[in-house]
Structure 1
């Protein structure tokens, strides 16, 4: 079992400096605790995420840490020039002394694509071409590509990876072409269900497994990554605030998916979406609560879905950095040993991970 830290970087009830410094403080603590990877989201134009450049955040975190792997979860590839993206991935690896990992996605928010002048309907095909360009650039140190969307002459990629290797890559797109390409490169499927419960997580896992089956492959026995909200607290009022922050982020994502968000400046108004859970349902459905509750829920989901690496989203919207840090400390001291014991990894063994 592998664990990591996910950073969406909402701004909700805290200042922008608190978002950035709080994120870096959480990553530093994760590094000290033995987490293996910190992931940074990419979104634009709103407080849903104050991270338009996950590679820049990862580079900033590299200066503050020693061992933790760093990468985007995920780069919205169709919004990039593939040459610049490839160079910046390699540059991150140099600046972090070989600690870069990569998460690739096609994007989904119409709001963002329209502002960039990008066509949302082309996102899967563009992702496929960009992934091939990145692979050639970071592994062969050259560019040369002639595709439908991108044409690049034969030129060198000047920046090498700090450590020659196949860059560990995670992906969140399920077209047959992308799946075949990913499987051939041992890339890791990465899922999230936001405020969804264990049943929603299982449905998403089954969906991905079906996509593998449709092209003659099996998901069973492969690395499989999932992302979950995680917060450790025994304070009911604090847990209600956590649930409210999770609901707010889910509302933002739901509205932006269909371009229906209402903005006050860059702040998305806290308006309901159809079918949303209430706060008590969120509290009962996610790995949030006391240490034993969090451990039990995570262990059950790990076992039920064949999860090999789990990304912990540990600073929900509206939660102050000091509260997130306190929860993280309890997770390391109380929850991780319980999970290790339950999964047979030995109670004293520190779990590490990249998802």
Structure 2
């Protein structure tokens, strides 16, 4: 089983942004040195749900400090980005990370972010398709080809030159599909791309992997491609480790309460379904939020409990887990203790 450090720290406000980002960088370097397979960045704006905001720029900064791990964007929200800018930013990260880069594509969840960029969240699916179609054509364009004229619902232009820089890999950077529903799992297998998913229990993970494996097999991909896809298909989990289960359950109360208040402040004005799209949990009752989040999105407990739970997911076909260790304005010492316990007590059981 492989492990990725998923970096999505929430922030209580601008006065803490710098310190939170510095801690995130330190944790990423520590994880890289310990043998984590990847560092994952996510993409949220305007809501305090993600401190660094721009995953492309933060990923470029990390590229000079991470020596072995890959960079995973989980995800680039295509509807919010100009298609040529998306292709250009992806190529730049591909070069900086020397091909150790996979860009997951998603359609986004928060109307707050769509509103800020002047996009209609009801069109997220069609906008994603438009942007990725133009980006694909831009990546394929060769010197001497006719100008690429494009139009999406929000952007239009003519590409007469080329996307700069060119990608490190041949043709274009590696892409993955982010999806929480079966239709997306099938599409990831059909197109031969790794799948990024989460917020499911063991049974849900087994179902997702069965659907995905079946789609890969039906598409007829080579064994090498299938193995690559399955190695980089990641399930995301919010995690907290402590020396014993009781301490872990106590420590998670504070960050979960903070996360609940943040979700209410940032997303409630747009309806419960939209809040659920971002946090994975609906409802205003803090107790209900805690129960649903713990059962569906987390792994918490002692190292032994953690090992047992990971073994269950391994048995369900999951090869790669993205671990979200800093959430809900978590105190730095709690995050660091989780990371240290995981490196010292858990990782050796899966080497």
Specify the TM-score bucket, using the shorter chain as the normaliser: 0.7 to 0.9
1:309 aligns with 2:325: no
Q: For 1:170, what is the secondary structure of its paired residue?
A: strand
Contact 1:82 1:133 in 2 (8 A): yes
* Post-superposition CA distance 1:312-333 (Å, at most 9, x none): 1111223233432232122122
- 2:301 and 2:45 map into 1 onto residues whose CA distance is 31
CA positional deviation for 1:248: 3.7
- 1:185 and 1:158 map into 2 onto residues whose CA distance is 26
Q: For 2:197, what is the secondary structure of its paired residue?
A: strand
Rate the CA distance shift 1:180–1:154 in 2: closer, same or farther, 3 A: farther
Trace 1:239-254 onto structure 2 (pairs within 5 A).
Answer: 239-246=249-256, 248-249=258-259, 252-253=262-263
- 2:249 and 2:93 map into 1 onto residues whose CA distance is 36
* Post-superposition CA distance 1:233-252 (Å, at most 9, x none): 12645542324324543564
Contact 2:148 2:158 in 1 (8 A): yes
Contact 1:110 1:258 in 2 (8 A): no
Contact 1:283 1:289 in 2 (8 A): no
Rate the CA distance shift 1:95–1:152 in 2: closer, same or farther, 3 A: same
CA positional deviation for 1:138: 4.1
Rate the CA distance shift 1:285–1:36 in 2: closer, same or farther, 3 A: closer
- 2:206 and 2:262 map into 1 onto residues whose CA distance is 23
* Post-superposition CA distance 1:299-353 (Å, at most 9, x none): 112323x212211111122323343223212212211222x2xxxxxxxx3xxxx
Rate the CA distance shift 1:119–1:95 in 2: closer, same or farther, 3 A: same
Partner of 2:347: 336
Contact 1:111 1:257 in 2 (8 A): no
CA positional deviation for 1:16: 1.4
- 1:141 and 1:87 map into 2 onto residues whose CA distance is 15
* Post-superposition CA distance 1:222-262 (Å, at most 9, x none): 6242101122212645542324324543564576276259x
Trace 1:174-323 onto structure 2 (pairs within 5 A).
Answer: 182-193=188-199, 197-198=201-202, 205=208, 209=211, 223=230, 224-234=233-243, 236-237=246-247, 239-246=249-256, 248-249=258-259, 252-253=262-263, 256=267, 259=270, 272=285, 275-278=288-291, 282=294, 286-304=298-316, 306-323=317-334
- 2:141 and 2:24 map into 1 onto residues whose CA distance is 34
Q: Which structure features the higher share of helix residues?
A: 2
- 1:282 and 1:110 map into 2 onto residues whose CA distance is 25
Contact 2:79 2:107 in 1 (8 A): yes
Q: For 2:5, what is the secondary structure of its paired residue?
A: strand
Normalising by structure 1, report the TM-score: 0.77
Q: For 1:74, what is the secondary structure of its paired residue?
A: strand
CA positional deviation for 1:288: 1.4
- 1:16 and 1:2 map into 2 onto residues whose CA distance is 30
- 1:162 and 1:230 map into 2 onto residues whose CA distance is 34
Q: For 1:287, what is the secondary structure of its paired residue?
A: strand
Contact 1:109 1:257 in 2 (8 A): no
* Post-superposition CA distance 1:37-70 (Å, at most 9, x none): 1111111112221132111111111122212111
CA positional deviation for 1:78: 0.5
Contact 1:124 1:173 in 2 (8 A): no
1:90 aligns with 2:91: yes
Contact 1:5 1:37 in 2 (8 A): yes
Rate the CA distance shift 1:136–1:185 in 2: closer, same or farther, 3 A: farther
Partner of 2:158: 153
* Post-superposition CA distance 1:166-202 (Å, at most 9, x none): 6332222479997776445421222121xx6545656
Rate the CA distance shift 1:45–1:289 in 2: closer, same or farther, 3 A: same
Partner of 2:17: 16
CA positional deviation for 1:148: 5.3
Structure 2: gaps of 5 or more residues:
221-225, 273-282
Contact 1:141 1:159 in 2 (8 A): no
